[in-house]
Amino acid sequence: MINWENPLITPYRQQLLSTEKPVVRIKLSPADKSSLRRWDSKVGGAPYLPLGAEYPHTANGDPLTLLAQINFAQTPPLENFPRQGLLQFFIHSDDLYGCDLDNLLNNDGFRVIYHADVLEDDSLQQSDYPHYYGEEFGLPHNPEQSFAMSFEQGTQLVSCSDYRFAQILERYEGGKNENFWQIHSNEDLEYEVMESFSGGHQIGGYPDFTQNDPREEHDELKDYILLFQLQSEWEDGIEIIWGDLGVGGFFIHPDDLAKLDFSKVAYSWDCG
């Protein structure tokens, strides 16, 4: 909850409210294999893989691993996002979980696959698929374990780690326009601001970062928006850990999202 009485936040109320946008928040719960169908929304587990579909690999032939899949027939409606179909996120089990830090658009180590038509029939699913999780590095999750997704529709204000946060909150201070972090330096209050404007597992909305927003450093990504975010969580039977308790995110250009073209998605993760 946002504490509008916080003296850091109160002067910026109108500017912050102007950033409100819709989001679908995701809650995870442990699930056994028998309780989830191949086409259900989930983290980990057996992927939706229709007969004849090609399983994603790296250029070197290493199979990728299902991180998560979202069946949009099971989610609340979200503006500009699909109303049906299934979206899958696969990553590699190398030391960077398939992320190319120099080129976030390089999808050799990850893949985002959209199935416009979902075949809800187990007999039309491939029963066998490649299993390669690597022994040296691992993954942010146990791919043999599934976490079911439930969804809640909501709204979200810009997160304080979004590269636009400071610019949105520019104020005339000391004879010049200065951004939020130039004006305020009280660490305790800054922490409260960060807590107030953080997200979680979600579709759309504003992303979180434990370090810097990579879109600020890559001009080709400046207009990209959050497609899907999965944070570290390690309570109540859930265990997803990105490095040192970080967060993973997938980003897309709005024009590509409108065309349901997921071939140019950017992927990044970071940790503290």
Q: Environment class of residue 209 by beta-carbon count within 10 Å: exposed (0-12), middle (13-18) or buried (19+)?
A: buried
The reply to whether 5 falls in a domain is no
Q: What CATH number should be reported for the domain holding residue 253?
A: 2.30.320.10
pLDDT tens for 194-248 read 666 677 999 999 999 999 999 999 999 999 999 999 999 999 999 999 999 999 9
| 172 or 257, greater pLDDT | 257
CA distances from 122 to 75, 86, 119, 232, 262 (A): 21, 15, 8, 31, 26
pLDDT tens for 77-108 read 999 999 999 999 999 999 999 999 999 999 99
Cα(95)–Cα(78) distance, integer angstroms: 34
Total domains in the fold of the chain: 1
The reply to whether 148 falls in a domain is yes
Which residue(s) pair with 30 in the sheet? Answer: 147
Range of the domain at 35: 10-270
Yes or no: say if 216 and 165 are a contact pair by the CB < 8 Å rule: no
Position 172 scores a pLDDT of 47
The reply to whether 106 falls in a domain is yes
The reply to whether 167 falls in a domain is yes
Amino acid residing at 52: G
Distance of CA 146 to the CA centre of its chain: 17
Write down the pTM of the prediction. Answer: 0.92
The reply to whether 113 falls in a domain is yes
The reply to whether 206 falls in a domain is yes
Position 16 scores a pLDDT of 84
Cα(263)–Cα(188) distance, integer angstroms: 42
Distance of CA 199 to the CA centre of its chain: 10
The confidence band for 3, taking pLDDT boundaries of 50, 70 and 90, is confident
Cα(166)–Cα(179) distance, integer angstroms: 5
Q: Environment class of residue 61 by beta-carbon count within 10 Å: exposed (0-12), middle (13-18) or buried (19+)?
A: exposed
Cα(164)–Cα(16) distance, integer angstroms: 11
| 168 or 194, greater pLDDT | 168
The reply to whether 173 falls in a domain is yes
Cα(129)–Cα(46) distance, integer angstroms: 9
Q: Environment class of residue 203 by beta-carbon count within 10 Å: exposed (0-12), middle (13-18) or buried (19+)?
A: buried
The reply to whether 3 falls in a domain is no
Yes or no: say if 71 and 39 are a contact pair by the CB < 8 Å rule: yes
Cα(241)–Cα(232) distance, integer angstroms: 5
Residue that has been written with the tokens 């305020």 in this structure: 184
